[in-house]
Structure 1
Amino acid sequence: MRSTEPDSIDAETLIETCAVEALALLRENLGPLGFLAAAPGAAAQSRGYDRVFGRDAAICALAALHCGDRALAAGARLSLESLASRQAGNGQIPKYVDGRGGADFWYLGCIDATLWWLIAVQHAGLIGHLSEQVARALDWLACQEHPQFFLLQQNEASDWADIMPRSGFVLYTNALWYHVKRIYALPHAAKTHEHFNYLFDPFADLRATHKRVRLMMHYVRRRRRHASPRELYLSFVNLASWGEEGDLFGNLLAVLFGLAGDHQTCRILAAIARNQAGAPYPMRVTQTPIQPAEPLWRPYMARHRQNLAHRYHNGGIWPFVGGFWVMALDLAGRRRQAETVLADLARASAAGGWQFNEWFHGLTGEPEGMPRQSWNAAMFLLARRSLSLPLFGRGIGNAYSLLEA
């Protein structure tokens, strides 16, 4: 199939071919410590993609547990154990571990590595096996939680969007935190849900009970940039700043994890559909890219011209996030749309001869970043599987049967 243009193949054949290619890529990228971020080689080594990244490997583990492949299922466990072995003394899971056993925690921390690791550990049935590490990870997160708002706090550029200015209470991070609270039966999950919707949707007809939350909501409503009602959750809320650029990944997680009600889900999916109209591939991750003249712009966003408008996290196209879009559409009962997006993800994966490119320019569709990305393959497989057995929202079968065998 490599010599055939993907546009000339029917959708069903393209999807099935992509599944075969995705499985092959995960096998190729399974190293001695677990799933590498990208295919091993000189290019990956020169840019540090030949490492086991916390968030990437956890997402790959979720997919590997459902592939029907014992070697990949074992790779899921290996990845999670490798990350646990380099856990910081305070409980934080590293951004990555390298082939020499070293660990990195980024400049200002990497809060979502711990969150994704916990999700994958629970899903793999390894809580008992890694009980001490799980307890320390949860303790560390509890120390990042506001004691009255029950939301995690972080500095900017300290999650997957590692050169974006989101800080304080961040949408994406707190969607993950709510899910972790639910699956680990942690206290105050309902309060996290409540304050999530107060702060990230301050335009809704809701009245917070906490005075400082009400003041933050009021401040945003009075000084927002856009006069029209907002369809998306804010990307972050800090003391005197907030994000109206539209974090589409964070909004999708809010849908998948049950933070958005039915009406809000419809608004989010409608906004995303309009934003993706005309996009070369799924999916753009920012609704309105941040421009250099805007208050949210940071000098570090221009480094190597990487995060200019419609590039990287600032409006670039990330196929792995498109997998979450497929899941959210299906969860909302929009199966036909989900199938269409899945076929478009297969086209993105096939670009350049099944390169599974890290990201694409948001307007031109030019492939960028590192090719042969593991989590692109993983999320395609998870999205495809979600059409028959959803990962989030409506339960899933025995996630760790291959680990027990």
Structure 2
Amino acid sequence: MDTSSWLTINAARDAALKVLLHNVNGPFHGLPRTAGWGYPEPYTRDLLISFFGIGVSGNDILINSIRKVLETLAKNQTPHGHIPSLVHDKQDLGASDSTPLFLLVAGMYRQLTGEHTFLEEAVNNSLQWMEYQSPSDRYLVAQQPTSDWRDEQWVLGYGLFVNTLVYSYLRMLGRHERADKVKQAMGRFTITGGVQHRHVHEGLVVKHKPYYAMWSYKVLSSERFDLLGNSLAILSGLAAPTRAAEMIAWVEEECAALQKSGDLAVSLPPNFFPYTKPGDNDWHERYTFFNLPGEYHNGGIWPFICGFYVAALVAAKKYRLAEEKLLELTRVITITNSGTVDYGFNEWLKAQDGAAKGQEWQTWSAAMYLYAVKCVEERRTPFFEEMRARLPVA
């Protein structure tokens, strides 16, 4: 990448740090805000995901803020080990991704600081809680619709995103035997024949496609593409290098087709595609108001997820493509919906026209930009290199 591009990226990196430092002390017990002006609440999943970027920032103020988040979550953990959806509110429960994110980030924090027994009791309690989330009492965990980060989208049963988190935290915490079992279970095909035979268990592999299904449960599944879950599958090593390369080629080809048809206005992949449209079997009436095609969870462009995609490209050694996508992400984070700031770091953008939507100065948008920059700059993926290196070559 040329010097001019790096000057642009470094200016955006400075802006991301400014956003995170602005958000570091919110109105709820001094915990970080989820966004600069809207979302003053400390949402668990947003703040834990922000550790990816904060952990590579070298900024002690930000790193200590996530330590406070983790310690507060441990105090507000239920007796069974479940982590609340709001850091400060032990009564706000029901999220399927808050506990696995807590376990993953606790492991990442241990790796960063060398405190190998940090929050040991809380971690063990959460590990036990997650084992009870398997309805088959095996290895894949299940969830209720709208219970992960997609509060306006149905993910039923064994969701890809949550199970990639499970796989990742097991590796991060050294629980390799169980991680191997999760990988094996995810590697089974989804059941498409309409009949589930006795002792035949569903998985998340899609026949004749290089990516993992968005979710699967018994004879039901969604084979639409989940960018976040599949990016994590590459980053964690769950997807073998050959599958990762095929998946990336497929994503780029599909996005080129979306651009040609006018369904995608930026050179970054939507969080979810093909978009769900009225009349589709998985269309819900509520989507008319909150989740139209190309918007929000139904194909919106989410900068924080694009940060994960850039990291996945680096993990797959697609360095030139990672640079191209980082430059496009750098352009996208300057777009604002208020026009009052130089960098929007918005929550999401509409796929068809690239218009900024949702809240500006979103904590996880700024943080995942920092992580994407670090990955491209060093051609490595902090926290995940060792995880992939210990896996056998396919």
Instruction: Give the TM-score normalised by the residue count of structure 2.
Output: 0.85
Deviation per residue, 1:195-221 (Å, 9 max, x gap): 101045x69xxxxx98322xx479x98
Report matched runs for 1:203-218 at 5 Å.
211-213=199-201, 216=202
* Residue in structure 1 matching 2:143, options 147, 151, 154: 154
1:241 to 220, 231, 255: 220
Q: Distance in 1 between matches of 2:40 and 2:221?
A: 35
SS at match of 2:72: helix
Q: 1:332 to 1:84 in 2, by over 3 A?
A: same
3-state SS of 2:221 partner: coil
Check if 1:331 corresponds to 2:315. Answer: yes
Determine if the alignment matches structure 1 residue 257 to structure 2 residue 236.
yes
Describe the shift of the 1:62–1:142 C-alpha distance in structure 2 as closer, same or farther (beyond 3 A): same
Identity of aligned residues (%): 28
- The equivalent position to 1:295 in structure 2, one of 281, 298, 308, is 281
Superposed displacement of residue 231, structure 1: 2.9
| Kept in 1: contact 2:268–2:328 (CA 8 A) | yes
Q: How does 1:34-113 map to 2 (within 5 A)?
A: 34-39=31-36, 41=37, 44=38, 49-97=39-87, 101-103=88-90, 105=92, 109-113=94-98
Looking at structure 2, the residues matched to 266 and 129 of structure 1 have their Cα atoms a distance apart, in angstroms, of: 36
Q: Distance in 2 between matches of 1:137 and 1:64?
A: 23
Residue matched to 1:115: 100
| Helix, strand or coil at the partner of 2:102 | helix
Cα distance change on mapping 1:265 and 1:143 into 2, 3 Å:
same
Equivalent of 2:109 in 120, 124, 133: 124
Unpaired stretches in structure 1, ≥5 consecutive residues = 1-8, 204-208, 222-227, 397-405
The code of the aligned residue for 1:381 comes to L
Secondary structure class of the residue paired with 2:333: helix
Partners of 1:377 and 1:217 in 2: CA distance:
34
- Once the two structures are TM-superposed, the CA of residue 185 in structure 1 deviates from its matched residue by 2.7
Q: CA deviation digits over 1:12-39, x for unaligned, max 9?
A: 2221111000000000000254322101
Partner of 2:134: 145
- Quote the offset at 1:251 in angstroms: 1.0
Aligned pair count reads 360
Task: Quote the Cα distance in structure 1 between the aligned partners of 2:323 and 2:203.
Answer: 38
Residue 392 of structure 2 corresponds to: none
d(CA) in 2 for partners of 1:137, 1:191: 19
Whether contact under 8 Å (1:56, 1:374) holds in the other structure is yes
8 Å contact 2:334–2:345 — kept in the other structure?
yes
Is the 8 Å Cα contact of residues 342 and 384 (structure 1) preserved in structure 2? yes
Cα 1:68/1:184, change in 2 over 3 Å: closer
Letter in 1 for 2:53: A
Equivalent position SS for 1:36:
coil
TM-score (norm. length: structure 1): 0.83
Report the Cα offset of residue 177 of structure 1.
0.6
The CA distance in 1 between the partners of 2:382 and 2:198, in whole Å, is 34
Supply the distance in 1 between the matched residues of 2:56 and 2:243 (Cα, whole angstroms). 30
CA distance in 1, matches of 2:367, 2:333: 11
Amino acid at match of 1:16: N
**Following the alignment from structure 1 to structure 2, what is the Cα–Cα distance between the partners of residues 150 and 33?**
37
For structure 2, the residue ranges without an aligned partner over 5 or more in a row are 260-264, 337-341, 388-394
Offset, 1:129:
3.3
- Greater shift after overlay, 285-294 or 57-66? 57-66
Name the structure 1 match of 2:271: 285
* Equivalent residues of 1:257, 1:392 under 8 A apart: no
Partner amino acid for 1:115?
P
Q: How does 1:350-389 map to 2 (within 5 A)?
A: 350-352=334-336, 353-387=342-376, 388=378, 389=380
Letter in structure 1 aligned against 2:381: P
User: 16, 21, 25: which one pairs with 2:10?
Assistant: 16
SS at match of 2:230: helix
| C-alpha spacing 1:231/1:339, structure 2 compared with 1 (3 Å) | same
2:124 is matched with 135
Of residues 181, 187, 195, the one that matches 1:191 is 181
TM superposition shift of 1:180: 1.2
